[in-house]
A and B are shown apart, each in its own frame.
Chain A
Amino acid sequence: MSENLTLVQAVRDGLRDGMAEDDDVLVMGQDVGKNGGVFRATEGLFDEFGDERVIDTPLAESGIIGSAVGMAAYGLKPVPEIQFSGFMYPGFDQIVSHMSRLRTRSRGRYTLPMVLRAPMGGGIRAPEHHSESKEAFYAHEAGLKVAMPSTPHDAKGMLIASIRDPDPVVFLEPKKIYRAFREEVPDDPYEVELGEAAVRKEGTDVSVFTWGAMTRPTIEAAEQMERVDVEVVDLRSLSPIDFDTVVESFKKTGRAAIVHEAPNTGGLGAEIAATIQEEALLYQEAPIERITGFDVPFPLAALEDYYLPEPARIAAGIEEAFDF
């Protein structure tokens, strides 16, 4: 059996199934309880599981993440939510100093089966500090896994895989596509394995690597292009990255473009391009294009659409890679 769900409904479904199959799983954060989450990602869970498993916390991100670290080390499986990824930073010390490295520091004595969820990214006319894409921060941090689903099916499957994973996962949800489209999502719990990319469209001329909310405009650009047969790879998992799939695709096409909404400099596009050059230099026919956000603070809503890559810009970048 399955249901036709939006991405945010699939997240809710994944949380519910994760909680139903394991009593140690709990949800905590600002407004996740009675209010059901500001994006409704925890709707109904408070009524179903009660206030000891769906916990409204004080307004304190370091407290939320830090106490989740303590809970996870002590045998629970907390799934803290930070309301917007732009408000993660008061808890950043807990993420980089403890969440990412407790297994390492304690030489395996303490481990953190926890999932830190946050909506991220632009495109919904949100106020200041609500629209950034900072996945590179977390992917840069050894010891963390980083997931960013782009479909409802993946959202539920990757969330369940994250909850069951013995290591801490930063689970970033592109809020622009929270309700953009629906997809059949199985009712029963299932896993979409972390660390596996998905080829969304096969092609032979240029490989385009992307993730999150950029996946859809990238596919749209690819489908509109008549001259170029584009392969679109949705990474889904940003740590670890499925470099086998990336390199295999590149060896087939010899040309690549990378699309992300995060700023260009120090973005994950650089990591992908560097790895391709290490692994497949002799297959390379053209410089690897990056179609990304600009190296400026994310603009307020009036200009955000100029900042975010969209199909015309993406197609232009792909053509550069093709025509070189």
Chain B
Amino acid sequence: MTETVHREPDDMYRVLDEDGELVDGAEVPDLSDDELVEMYRHMKLARRFDERAVSLQRQGRIGTYPPLSGQEGAQIGSAMALGDDDWMVPSYREHGAGLVRGLPLKDTLLYWMGDERGNRIPEDENIFTVAVPIASQLPHATGMAWASKLKDEQDKAFLCYFGDGATSEGDFHEGMNFAGVFDTPNVFFCNNNQWAISVPRERQTASETLAQKATAYGFEGVQVDGMDPLAVYQVTKDAVEKAKDPDEDELRPTMIEAVQYRFGAHTTADDPSVYRDEAEVEKWKAKDPIPRLEKFLKDTDRLDDDDVEAIEADVEDDVAEAIEAAEETPRPDPASMFENVYAEMPDRLEQQLEYFQSIREEYGDEALLED
């Protein structure tokens, strides 16, 4: 039932080849035609959002932003494999995965505009708050899954995203080890995009694969073509299922290494031309997940040119609306930095807030914003 997660770590799972053709013997995941088109639409939306966000940063309309282009197959494929009750524990680049779960693009923009309100996940979404310090979210995902198990929930999986660089951090190993020891319902999803800023995958670890690191913790680790959304969907689906309902002889956790590439910079503050060749980028761009899925959907009569045009117009509107909504959001109240530090504000902080308000009144905000 969950055969795609019972493979050798280096036996990469694929469904579509680079040209969008079915790989020999591969099965198309059990998704309806509508769901397959929805997958495509989500990927187009993530890509368009990403392009606009990079451009907004260049224009000074948002702050530093981490692009995701090239990684839509891994993000959308994995996010769609989660059930409504499952949880997603992201790093900081998963705005694509987030939009599948209903995380508003407006909120993602607000966060990268430096507005704390963008960091609050909507009440009904099972998404954990963004984690910027590398790998620090893995132990959280393990703890959440562990808590679910201690509460006797049987029906939830906890998927944690992180990058190739994160596998070098202690928190990666500690989170994975706890997951194995306490047999927690986790899926550890590694977005191996080949580069941790300027450090290539092969300098991150002497291991042949990242997936094999799971072997040391007693559970399965498998590679999947991270630019093949159908393969990613299937492997994640199987891992989620194993997390919730493992066979007697298997542990719940799985590590998935989604092999992929970031087409752009680490963040808008980074210039990848300093450390990697354009030829390498071009090689990976040939694996772009979006045309691959588009070709497959067209070849199987699930999508035609008119549909593509309509989807493109549609996502253009969605992104434009999100940008407008974010930019029309009034600036945060300066006093809000004193909120939510504690359930109840201590006296000393109350005094600092009073002082802050008094100097604002006395000098005006403009004077306080002077460098």
Which positions in A face B, CB cutoff 8 Å? 30-31, 33-36, 38, 56-63, 86-87, 89-90, 123, 125-130, 217, 264-265, 294-297, 299-307, 310-313, 316
Contact = CB atoms under 8 A, between A and B. Distances in A.
B199 A38 contact: no
B151 interface: no
A68 to B, nearest CB: 16
Contacts of B371: 123, 217, 305, 310
A312 B113 contact: no
B88 interface: no
Contacts of B166: 59
B359 A59 contact: no
A123 to B, nearest CB: 8
Interface stretch (B27-35, B76-84, B215-223, B331-339): B331-339
Given A128-B132, A300-B114, A312 B368 contact: yes
Given A59-B196, A302-B116, 14 more contacts: A31-B197, A56-B198, A56-B199, A60-B168, A125-B63, A125-B64, A217-B371, A301-B114, A305-B368, A305-B371, A307-B337, A311-B370, A312-B367, A316-B359
A57 B205 CA distance: 10
Contacts of B203: 56, 58
17 contacts: A35-B198, A35-B274, A38-B197, A58-B203, A59-B166, A59-B169, A127-B63, A127-B132, A127-B267, A129-B133, A294-B349, A296-B337, A303-B337, A305-B368, A310-B370, A312-B367, A316-B362
Interface string B123-142: 00000001011100000000
A30 B199 contact: yes
Contact of A296 (B132, B169, B349, B369): B349
Nearest to B60: A125
Nearest to A33: B198
A129 B132 contact: yes
Contacts of A310: 367-371
Given A35-B197, A302-B114, A316-B359, A63 B337 contact: no
A172 B282 CA distance: 39
A87 B169 CA distance: 11
A31 B337 contact: no
Given A31-B199, A296-B338, A312-B368, A59 B362 contact: no
Contacts of B111: 300
Given A34-B275, A60-B168, A60-B170, A312 B64 contact: no
B352 A264 contact: yes
A265 B352 CA distance: 11
A231 B196 CA distance: 46
A302 B332 contact: yes
Given A125-B64, A125-B114, A301-B114, A59 B337 contact: no
